[in-house]
Structure 1
């Protein structure tokens, strides 16, 4: 009888504990809004939820990167747009200062304004973001992109050509900055030629810059320097021909020289003194291209305007250089702004797509693991009834005595 009593007691107690455990589980599922409290509840579902959580964390990081990237690109866009207005002002001042009626005082006034623009541009080119990184310095973004050399007085780029890219989706990475090397440094000075030999009083100059620039770009040979040597040969009868490295051009460039009249060749004007004896020859060459930046361009222009002894021809040359280099820099900035606009569009599109993915991820996770409110409440109620039933049974078993068995 003792054995039977113990068995009934243990069964009743086990029933109470099981009912209590099931009710606690249902209540926990309801409070945590999930039916998967441990992998044992649904191994396949738990694995899917884990995968979805990892995907969510990854997409959230992409969104964080997108916000940071957008802030950096917006800052760069603001800076470049401000610079673009300054370049237009420099061009306007350069054209105005070419007026032959300007006095030295008026030129100095223009130079003073250009100095202020130069200072502003230097500040903008050394713009730093919220993290203290110089946005145009490439990977060397802990130091200013541009500094003035105390010895030469030239403004030098101290960064590199790198750009820091951020991942905004599994397959898309966008640059968060543009190096000043590609925007401000890749600016060729105005293409020119150098006269190496000419008769006295010869006047050789670029007459059409566009035509000459096209000729330079199509013919400069960096591999064979001898091919950059040209000459104008005029024989005793006045017949002339242009040669490259001593060889006739294809097609030949020939003609008849008339004293007092100029000869033109790919934008270059050759003017010889009327007293120049024939035969004669002019040798010239195409020197290697040089690059500069807008700060040094302005430095040269300001110095020229402040020089009271500069000739009109010298000033015209500086003006031509300035306009050429400012225009090229402005074009680089325009290209950079267009590229920025494209990246911002991609950024917005990917950001919105990621937001949609997060919503879909949350919905899929809810379908797998989220508890059904009605079912959870029903389960709690059912387990509550079961607990009451086994509790009553346990009370009866626990109050049974030996006399109950004897009866």
Structure 2
């Protein structure tokens, strides 16, 4: 009898405990809004939820990277746009100084404004992001991109040509900065011929910069220096021809020289004094290309404008140098801005796509693990009833004595 009583007692107690456990689980599912409290509840579903959580964490990181990338590109876009306005002003001032009526004081006034523009450009080229990085210094972004050499006075690029890419999706990584070397420093100085021998009172000038640039780029020979040597030869009968390294060009460039008139050749204008006797010749060569930046070009132009001994021909040469350098640099900035615009469009598109993926991820996860509110409340009520029944049963069993069994 005692054994039977103990069995009934234990069964009643276990019924209460099981009912409490089931009710506690239902309440936990409701409070945590998930039906999978442990992997044992649904092994396959738990594995899928874990995978979805990992995917969400990765997409969240991509979204954070997208925001940082957009901020960096937006800052660079603002800086370059401001620079572009300065380049237009430089061109306007340079063209104005070509007016032969400008006095020294007027030239100095132009030089003063150009110096202020130069300072502004120098500051913009050393712009820093919110984290203190120099945006145009490449990988060397903890040091200024440009410094001024205290000995030579030249503005020198101290960064490198690297850029830091940021991952914004599983397969898309975009640069978050552009090196100043590519935009501001990898710019050729104005191409012009170097005259090595010529008769007195003769001039060789670039009359069409675009045409001469095309000729220069097509003909400069870095491997065979003698191929860069040209000459204009005029014989005793006033017939002229252009030679390269002593040989006629193919096809030949020849004609009849009329004293006092220019001889044109691929953007060059040869002007000889009408009294120059023939035969004669002008020797010139294509010098090796040089690269500089707009800061140094402006510095030389400013010094030229401030110099009271500057000759008209020298001033015109510096004006042309400044205009050409400004034009090329402005084109580089335009290209950089176009590239930035493309990257910003990609960032926006990918960001929106990732946002949609997060919504899909959350919906899929909800289908797998999210608890049904009505079902959870029903389950709690059912377990509550079961618990009450078990409790009542336990009370009756616990109140039973040996005399009840004797009866």
CA distance in 2, matches of 1:324, 1:61: 45
Q: Deviations over 1:264-300 (max 9, x none)?
A: 2112122223343333222111011111111011101
Match of 1:75 in 2: 75
2:363 equivalent to 1:325: no
Match of 2:147 in 1: 147
Match of 1:339 in 2: 339
SS in 2 for 1:384: helix
Match of 1:223 in 2: 223
Match of 2:186 in 1: 186
- How do residues 62-141 of structure 1 correspond to structure 2 at under 5 angstroms? 62-141=62-141
SS in 2 for 1:140: coil
Match of 2:403 in 1: 403
CA distance in 1, matches of 2:385, 2:94: 94
Q: Deviations over 1:73-95 (max 9, x none)?
A: 11111111111111111111111
Q: Deviations over 1:227-280 (max 9, x none)?
A: 111112222222222111122111011112233333221121222233433332
Match of 1:240 in 2: 240
CA distance in 2, matches of 1:282, 1:95: 30
SS in 2 for 1:110: helix
Superposition deviation, residue 397 in structure 1: 1.2
SS in 2 for 1:251: coil
2:167 equivalent to 1:167: yes
CA distance in 1, matches of 2:278, 2:374: 111
CA distance in 1, matches of 2:398, 2:18: 18
TM-score by length of 1: 0.98
CA distance in 1, matches of 2:98, 2:183: 27
Match of 1:44 in 2: 44
RMSD: 1.1
Match of 2:354 in 1: 354
SS in 2 for 1:252: coil
SS in 1 for 2:101: coil
Q: Deviations over 1:110-155 (max 9, x none)?
A: 1011111111111111000110000010110001111100111000
CA distance in 2, matches of 1:361, 1:240: 79
CA distance in 1, matches of 2:339, 2:116: 29
Match of 1:293 in 2: 293
Match of 1:176 in 2: 176
SS in 2 for 1:325: helix
Moved more, 327-336 or 30-39: 327-336
Superposition deviation, residue 2 in structure 1: 1.3
CA distance in 2, matches of 1:382, 1:211: 92
CA distance in 2, matches of 1:9, 1:56: 50
Superposition deviation, residue 400 in structure 1: 1.4
TM-score by length of 2: 0.98
Match of 1:210 in 2: 210
Superposition deviation, residue 30 in structure 1: 0.4
- Corresponding pairs, count: 407
> Structure 1: where are the runs of 5+ without partners?
none
Match of 1:249 in 2: 249
Match of 1:314 in 2: 314
Q: Deviations over 1:167-214 (max 9, x none)?
A: 111111111111101110121111011111222332222222222111
Moved more, 173-182 or 264-273: 264-273
- How do residues 19-58 of structure 1 correspond to structure 2 at under 5 angstroms? 19-58=19-58
SS in 2 for 1:241: strand
